[in-house]
Structure 1
Amino acid sequence: MDSLITAAALELAAGDPFGALNRVALRNDAPALALRGIAMAQLGDLARAKALMRSAARAFGSKEAVARARCVVAEAEIALVSRDLGWPAKALEAARATLEAHGDSVNAAHARYLEVRHLLLIGHLDEAECKLAERDPPRLPPALQAARELLVAGIAIRRLRTKAARGALASAGRAARQAGIPALISEVENASLALNTPSARLLVRGEERPLLLEEVEALLASKALVVDACRHVVRDAGTVIPLVRRPVLFALARMLGEAWPGDVSRDTLVARAFRARHADESHRARLRVEVGRLRAMLGPLADVSATRHGFALVPHRAREVVVLMRPVEEKHAAVLALLADGESWSSSALALALGTSQRTVQRALDALAEAGKIQSFGHGPARRWMTPPMPGFTTTLLLPAPFPGG
């Protein structure tokens, strides 16, 4: 490798893409193409970066397996940043295997971290945790140490392990400062905001207040009966009753939780749960059936008692009933939560991350765009959607990942 390539690589590692481009911008050999691709990625021109990395992979000969594998890893990282979640994961896995086989343990670890980031984005926490637990090289560069600790923090935040998340973010901050890369330092600082801004709202006895992530963790470990409108479950510290696939039952449970210790009239329950303007005998009959189903589902935790005017929630063990709500109530909150990271997403990537159909996501995007909450650029398959981060709160509780026991 000649001196210009070596110098450009060192400048890229230090986060100086302009310095690297000054050395290799006019060269079209394979190493220069690869470095130019990385530089363009650091500058945010992801489409150009992707094209350059593919050209570099083709330019490397068949005998240069390690160089080709590194190009695949770089292209995978570009795809991840551009939220192309449909990028072939097997190609990255094969590249990682090649790097490991040739003793390039550092770049192999980087490839594995990219796999973990992909799993984290689509909410596969168990797989992400297992892959991250694989053995690392004895000495990782500071930048990779920071990347690993960010992943540890991301998993811990979604698992509601705030102490572990704070420790990982502190380690990531130290490693990022040691690496001296401003963009990495900024990424750690942005990740830390999730622990220092409200993550949810709490409603208890008619009073509402915001909660930090640590407070949410403490609430779920308390003796309170929690009607969790973030994950659509009813729970206490030891039992979780999922109602994600029973929207009517959850709507009834939430209304009863909001009214506790009082009751909710039958007419109100009918109007809100069944979206009926006027309650007739058929609605009342259906309400009796649904309340019976809810009573059976909540049996381990509470009873649904009939009162003179309607129904009330009566917990068996808990001393109080609270409702945990999203920081912002929005019909398409899950889509907004993903877009709020400031990156540009395709509708197919959003559908993959949310585990729903692309058509459903597209309807949500159209509604949000019409309301002026998001914007798009590009056309056809290249169309991307984005929105600036929403200030004042974190969207952690809206992301596609379950609470512990959820």
Structure 2
Amino acid sequence: MDSLITAAARALAKGDTLGALKRVALRDDPPALALRGIAMAQLGDYARAKSLLKGAARAFGPREAVARARCVVAEAEIALVSRDLGFPEKALEAARATLEAHGDPINAAHAHHLQARRLVLIGRLDEAERALAGVDPASFLPAHRAAHALIVAGIAMRRLRTGLAREALAGARQAARDAQIPALDAEVDAASAFLETPAARLVSRGEERVLLLSDVEELLASGALVIDACRHSVRAGERVASLATRPVLFALARTLGEAWPDDVSRGQLLARAFGARHADETHRARLRVELGRLRGALNGLAEVYATDSGFVLVPVGAARIAVMTPPVEGQHGAVLALLADGEAWASSALAIALGVSPRTVLRALDALAADGKVQPVGQGRARRWMTPPMPGFPTVLLLPGPLPSD
């Protein structure tokens, strides 16, 4: 490899994008194309970056398997950063295997990290942890140690292990300082902000207060019966009753929980669960049926008793009932939660992350765009959706992936 290519690669590793481009901007040999592609990705021109990397991969000869594999890994990183989660996993896995077989452990570990980051984004936390288990960060360069620690912190935050998350973020911060890459420092700062951002609201005994992520962890470990409007479930300790697919039952449970220890009138329950302003015998009969279903769904967690004026929710084995809600509520909250990271997402990537159909996501995006909450960028297959981060609006509790005991 000639001196200009070596110097450009070193400049990119230090975050000096313009310095790298000065050395290879006028060259069209495969190594120069690859380095220019990485540089353009660092400058945010992902379309041009992908084109250059694809050209470099084609130009490398059949004996240059390692170089082609590195191009594939770079393409995968661009896809991840631009929230194109449809990038072929098999291609990335094959590239990682090639790098390992040819004695390039650093880039192979980077491929591992990309696989883990994608799994975290789509909520497959167990698989992400298994992907990290085969990687020892001790021998990494500082930038790769920081990336590894950021993934560990992201998994810990989604599992509500704030102590582990803080420890990982401290390691990431030190590694980022050692790397002396400003963009990496900024990424660590952004991740750390999640721990200090309101994550939920607590409604208990008629009072309401804001919860940080550590407060949520403490609440779920307190033994209280928690009616969780972030995940649409009812939980007490290790026991969880999911009502995510039963909105009427969850609306009834939440209404009863917000009133606890008092009861709720039948009229209030009908209005909250069915939107019935003028209840008739049909509505009252349906209410009795749905409350019976709620008793069955909460078996062992809580009981629903009739009172003179309505119904009351009584916890089983818990001292109190608390209702936990997102800081900002509204329709399509899960889509907004993903877009709140400030990145531009493809609608197909949102569908993969949320586990719903692309048509459902497009309807949600159209509704949010009509309200001015999101905006499209680009046209056709290149269209992305984004919104600036909303102050006070968290993402962790609404992001894909199970909480403890889910």
| Letter of the structure 1 residue corresponding to residue 77 of structure 2 | E
| Letter of the structure 2 residue corresponding to residue 268 of structure 1 | Q
Maintained 8 Å contact 2:264/2:309:
yes
Counterpart position of 1:350: 350
Instruction: After superposition, give the CA deviation of every residue in 1:324-380 in whole Å (9 maximum; x if it has no partner).
Output: 101210201100111111111111111111000111111110110000111112122
Q: State the Cα distance separating 1:109 from its structure 2 match.
A: 0.3
Counterpart position of 2:205: 205
Within 5 Å, give how 1:141-160 maps onto structure 2.
Answer: 141-160=141-160
Counterpart position of 2:387: 387
- Measure, in 2, the Cα distance between the counterparts of 1:373 and 1:108: 39
Maintained 8 Å contact 2:344/2:386:
yes
Deviant stretches of 4+, over 4 Å = none
Counterpart position of 1:107: 107
Instruction: After superposition, give the CA deviation of every residue in 1:261-316 in whole Å (9 maximum; x if it has no partner).
Output: 11111111112111222211111111101101111221201110101111110112
* Number of equivalenced pairs: 406
Counterpart position of 2:59: 59
Q: State the Cα distance separating 1:48 from its structure 2 match.
A: 0.5
SS of the counterpart of 1:209? strand
Q: 1:137 to 1:326 in 2, by over 3 A?
A: closer
- Measure, in 2, the Cα distance between the counterparts of 1:104 and 1:271: 63
- Measure, in 1, the Cα distance between the counterparts of 2:147 and 2:178: 13
TM-score w.r.t. structure 2 length? 0.99
Counterpart position of 2:20: 20
Within 5 Å, give how 1:159-308 maps onto structure 2.
Answer: 159-308=159-308
- Measure, in 2, the Cα distance between the counterparts of 1:14 and 1:254: 52
SS of the counterpart of 1:277? coil
2:47 is the counterpart of 1:50: no
Q: 1:13 to 1:265 in 2, by over 3 A?
A: same
The 10-residue stretch of structure 1 (48-57 or 277-286) with the greater mean CA deviation from structure 2: 277-286
Q: 1:250 to 1:79 in 2, by over 3 A?
A: same
- Measure, in 1, the Cα distance between the counterparts of 2:22 and 2:238: 60
| Letter of the structure 2 residue corresponding to residue 394 of structure 1 | P
- Measure, in 2, the Cα distance between the counterparts of 1:330 and 1:49: 37
Q: State the Cα distance separating 1:137 from its structure 2 match.
A: 6.4
Maintained 8 Å contact 1:50/1:75:
yes
SS of the counterpart of 2:314? strand
- Measure, in 1, the Cα distance between the counterparts of 2:11 and 2:218: 45
The 10-residue stretch of structure 1 (116-125 or 310-319) with the greater mean CA deviation from structure 2: 310-319
- Measure, in 2, the Cα distance between the counterparts of 1:181 and 1:302: 53
SS of the counterpart of 1:208? strand
Q: State the Cα distance separating 1:138 from its structure 2 match.
A: 5.2
SS of the counterpart of 1:318? coil
SS of the counterpart of 2:139? coil
SS of the counterpart of 1:203? strand
Instruction: After superposition, give the CA deviation of every residue in 1:150-175 in whole Å (9 maximum; x if it has no partner).
Output: 00000000000000000000000000
TM-score w.r.t. structure 1 length? 0.99
Q: State the Cα distance separating 1:136 from its structure 2 match.
A: 2.6
SS of the counterpart of 1:376? strand
